Structure 1
């Protein structure tokens, strides 16, 4: 009871603190559920914010139909508010962590329908995570008999940062992990005579649902069959248990015409894409992801955490075979873990992007319950004070890390998110320059920051512009920065797409504010004189502009390079173009 409540509290806290859609593929999972809730069939394709497309439309359907059944009453008509953060690829930008462009208006109170339904779907994942925790405790209780060590084994799952994060977000792995834990509980540590027809039928149902949750659940079917054989169950019974799941995996079902798991749209290929360098780096990367990397796998914990957890986990696992009477249980637990890990290894070898695959440590979570039981057996084999102390140290480290990660890692990473959309911008740059310019219909330049505040010839300059979309339907445009002398030719300092080819001006929403950063160098041989620094837009296609020139700019500040005492700058304020 205490363990379950603690897990629900932690996962619920994460569900609230982690911004919606800031988990791997969460927008795509949400889109799948939304489609099923409206049409009750498998989607042919799905919208996505990912340039490579939405791979989730080919996923097995169980989790999505379950989520649609639970949250269908709250599903909105569409999810247009999920948009890619245009700054996610910028290495030095303060907003680079968020993959989605967030809106405090939509995500505040009351939340928009899309935000609200995402939180409801996260609750389902949390409940499935609770199922995993309970089966992990139950399996450990069976193999070690010690209530205290069993509770600590369950705690090693309940407080694992990566598992808590995964259970607090929308993903079909939550169903797979819960069902895999149930299958492990039903088969490991039980003598052959205990496998009654009722238990075998229940096990067959669980395995069928496991494959229906995710095609990779086939590794769970293989692991279950192997453990049944080790337990002495007759081969024909093992085949009978596995047959329904295997038939489902082959597409013999009714949810889709002979293709219930959308296997026809899976990209089947056997190409070894991993290199030797990938193989050398793989264990470390994958271990970090197993312990916990947040966001879209771009928010790691401090390196010392991964080292400490590894040092606390290994002794329990290695000592799990030290008691001869219990080696059969240890063999089953190790066999299950090895087969699940083997399935992950095969998928990694043939993955088109092996390095990205290593970011998904949750692929090994179907073995969480057996690994926790292996550790419990190792703790039980130690002298009582030492085993309990090691178990307590592991669970304590995981629990403290999971709690502290919210204010120390997750919170700061997304604290800036209000800057991405609707937020109050002072009408004054850091250098005192005041701007209220409308260089184009539907666009307004709210302010700017210039560094250095008064640049000299030869300086490297960083200019941040804050654009406000006052309406919709703005033509596609680049933003430009010009240096205009009182006489002579205008110098173009910078021209770029403000959304880095990910977020063009034509899709900016009314009332949205977009931060547009420029970096350029002023040549040291620029002629002395009085200049005006201007910023504005250049339309991609002049024919789309009803009136006005193709390039429209507003003055930011005057720069005087005529004297010998250095540059002299003055804000121009609200001077009209």
Structure 2
């Protein structure tokens, strides 16, 4: 480990290596930003809604319980990321944004890693491709803004780790965090997480350098310099406070550093002289927002309004429940993509788990060795470098407490919430790796290289295929029985036609069955119709149902080529309580998922209603008999 003083700017080969790392990250993140479809990252639509509101109304959103605003729970977030985004995109016409809300998939199975359909949050249309314009151009500018913020965070992370380690360890340790696939994925999205990641990284680095002034014997004449650095530290603290509420924890870290320096120098006035220089810029940058919350919501954090706009945990979190959610925490740190619906295969998490255990064990071993070399009084109060490290790890501890607090409120804690501590995590990785012999450390470079390759493969391997519509199969190739053609919506310009159906003749309670339908657009549909398939008993009660946009959410009907037949493969789960030997009826229809209006159907060859009960807004497809035998069809 090295001296506590600031390191000069990297020169020569070191400068090339860190520049190369930042360039690789920027290119990789840019690749993600282009490949990942619009709004298919966590809460990206709501984040952009916040920016669009500022651009349109020159004001922050005013939230309320169950707000109708498109920003939803994000409307109470700290505003600096969005204000910067509004400045960057204010010249773009985003008048098309409110209309895009109709393309949100209400059937999206967000957070369900086992989902095989409706994994998309947003219905893709032709207008979201290159060349970008309107809202989609603004979205990609915000994604580039996020990439820049992450590059700043990685630069600060490297500078922080260099306070402790040589470049041969600091660079690979930084690269490990840079190429965590989830970090790249979130870093390439429009998300306020990226501002707190950058602000926290810079502040932790600058605070660690600042703590050298507590080593009074080596810096006796630098009080004036230390005091005046409070201005810039306060500005970065203000950015963190205005980036996300988790930035409040950095206030405690700053106070800890300030108090320790004053104690080591035996200068109690140092706290006052430096403290107000920190407080003024911090208040100017973000204090106004907390005051606004106090006046508007009677809550400086707007916490109660935020809780009124999220899905709260329905049951108290127990220890066993907490432990059961840790695997998701682990996976969402390394990589779950889309709306937390696109995980890696299990073998990938197994390898990443082994790497995590090795890194944690290495750091703990380093910690034990370090503490044995120092007496308690020295490492607790006098060793500046150890206190620099403990300052940083206190920030990680605060984030963990914040994460636990969030878990108590909502079942949505994710590993990415630890990304603001990447300087600390990188230091832990580097310290653990430093215990290995020099020859072994050279081999360890395969870890960041492997993560880079994994991240590079992820868009084409995991993300892009999930948003490709399933291949259509004609009924003639499937051997179905051909039914008469049914056309809807009825009227002067019918647009959709149901041309073939394949139903199971029997169903079994507690089992799933597969139903096949074939639809064709005979004219350009004016809406993105959703489909429903009901399984009803003899009294007309719905026993089981399926609702979705066609193609598992990937075939919006307004994008269908006229004349192209498309097959729906629908899986319906039959409840276990269905009566044996009952005859159940299959009913199908299309409806508008926003207005809840159904289409009307007519026989393609004969004018008039086609249902046996003369109801024109749904189709009677056929029946299936309930049997107990496991040999039932479907």
Q: Is TM more than 0.5 here?
A: yes
Q: Find the partner of 2:401 among 327, 345, 351.
A: 345
In structure 2, the residue matched to 1:438 is: 487
Structure 1 residue 25 corresponds to structure 2 residue 43: yes
In structure 2, the residue matched to 1:311 is: 357
Q: Find the partner of 1:159 among 150, 170, 179.
A: 179
Deviation at 1:237, TM superposition (A): 4.5
Q: Find the partner of 2:335 among 289, 292, 310.
A: 292
Deviation at 1:456, TM superposition (A): 6.2
Mapping of residues 95-106 of structure 1, within 5 Å: 95-103=117-125, 105-106=126-127
Deviation at 1:556, TM superposition (A): 6.8
Structure 1 residue 55 corresponds to structure 2 residue 81: no
Q: Matches of 1:175 and 1:381 in 2, distance apart?
A: 33
Structure 1 residue 403 corresponds to structure 2 residue 495: no
Q: Matches of 1:558 and 1:516 in 2, distance apart?
A: 18
Q: Find the partner of 2:250 among 220, 223, 233.
A: 220
Deviation at 1:429, TM superposition (A): 7.4
Q: Matches of 2:179 and 2:290 in 1, distance apart?
A: 39
Q: Matches of 2:122 and 2:408 in 1, distance apart?
A: 24
Go from structure 1 to structure 2 and tell me whether the alpha carbon gap of 1:545 and 1:444 turns closer, same or farther (over 3 Å shift): closer
Mapping of residues 270-281 of structure 1, within 5 Å: 273-281=316-324
Go from structure 1 to structure 2 and tell me whether the alpha carbon gap of 1:316 and 1:538 turns closer, same or farther (over 3 Å shift): closer
Instruction: Indicate the SS of the match to 1:21.
Output: coil
Q: Matches of 1:440 and 1:404 in 2, distance apart?
A: 43
Q: Matches of 1:206 and 1:287 in 2, distance apart?
A: 30
Structure 1 residue 385 corresponds to structure 2 residue 439: yes
Go from structure 1 to structure 2 and tell me whether the alpha carbon gap of 1:523 and 1:313 turns closer, same or farther (over 3 Å shift): same
Deviation at 1:158, TM superposition (A): 1.4
Deviation at 1:557, TM superposition (A): 9.0
In structure 2, the residue matched to 1:562 is: none
Mapping of residues 493-532 of structure 1, within 5 Å: 496=545, 498-499=547-548, 510-511=558-559, 517=570, 519=572
1:335-370, CA deviations, whole angstroms, 9 ceiling, x for partnerless residues?
32333433442452354544312x2x2222121112
Deviation at 1:294, TM superposition (A): 1.9
In structure 1, the residue matched to 2:6 is: none
Q: Find the partner of 1:333 among 369, 384, 389.
A: 389
- The answer on whether the counterparts of 1:460 and 1:520 sit within 8 Å (CA) in structure 2 is yes
In structure 1, the residue matched to 2:303 is: 266
Q: Matches of 1:180 and 1:550 in 2, distance apart?
A: 62
Instruction: Indicate the SS of the match to 2:163.
Output: helix
Q: Matches of 2:335 and 2:531 in 1, distance apart?
A: 41
Structure 1 residue 117 corresponds to structure 2 residue 138: yes
- The answer on whether the counterparts of 1:252 and 1:258 sit within 8 Å (CA) in structure 2 is no
Gaps of 5+ in 2: 1-18, 214-218, 561-565, 602-607, 625-631
Go from structure 1 to structure 2 and tell me whether the alpha carbon gap of 1:311 and 1:253 turns closer, same or farther (over 3 Å shift): closer
In structure 2, the residue matched to 1:132 is: 153
- The answer on whether the counterparts of 1:37 and 1:75 sit within 8 Å (CA) in structure 2 is no
TM-score (norm 1): 0.77
In structure 1, the residue matched to 2:502 is: 450
Gaps of 5+ in 1: 484-488, 560-566, 568-577
- The answer on whether the counterparts of 2:527 and 2:558 sit within 8 Å (CA) in structure 1 is no
In structure 1, the residue matched to 2:11 is: none
**Deviation larger for 9-18 or 539-548:** 539-548
TM-score (norm 2): 0.70
Q: Find the partner of 2:616 among 544, 551, 561.
A: 551
**Would you say how many aligned residue pairs link Structure 1 and Structure 2?**
538
Go from structure 1 to structure 2 and tell me whether the alpha carbon gap of 1:93 and 1:200 turns closer, same or farther (over 3 Å shift): closer
Q: Matches of 1:474 and 1:29 in 2, distance apart?
A: 24
1:35-94, CA deviations, whole angstroms, 9 ceiling, x for partnerless residues?
112222101249999999811000111000101111222241132224332442398863
In structure 1, the residue matched to 2:199 is: 179
- The answer on whether the counterparts of 1:436 and 1:444 sit within 8 Å (CA) in structure 2 is no
1:421-456, CA deviations, whole angstroms, 9 ceiling, x for partnerless residues?
xx988586733556753143355135556366xx46
**Deviation larger for 14-23 or 431-440:** 431-440
